[in-house]
Amino acid sequence: MPSKKPTPKVQLPDREDGGSVVLERRTQRTKPPQMFQVVMLNDDFTPMEFVVMVLQEFFSKDRESATQIMLKIHLDGKGVCGVYSKDVAATKVDQVMDAARKAGHPLQCISEPVE
């Protein structure tokens, strides 16, 4: 037969003597979650138009912003597409890599912690 744990007794103050209980509230500070940036890497084979399309579709960029990021990737070798929580960043990387693979392009995309 399983043994029951004794339940602790709570003693309430006597209301007739006007006694009261004051609880001290301690604020707990939690750190915001670590954020990750999704970075696309340049290659010499993926068409620029495909990169712009991926930026528009998976990162909700307008045509102008997508073109600016694509040019940064092309000129600097890599470019940040967005900053997200770890899970969202990993999903974005998977979506980009899957779309590139299906289209036959060697486009590479990674996520890295934001410092």
C-alpha closest to that of 62 among 51, 52, 74, 71: 52
DSSP state of 19: -
CB 11 within 8 A of CB 19: no
In whole angstroms, what is the distance from residue 21 CA to residue 13 CA?
Answer: 7
Q: How far is residue 12 CA from its own chain's centroid?
A: 46
Q: What is the pLDDT along the chain (115 residues), one digit of tens a residue?
A: 555 665 555 555 555 556 677 777 788 889 899 999 999 999 999 999 999 999 999 999 999 999 999 999 999 999 999 999 999 999 999 999 999 999 999 999 999 999 8
| CATH 3.40.50.720 for domain 35-113 | no
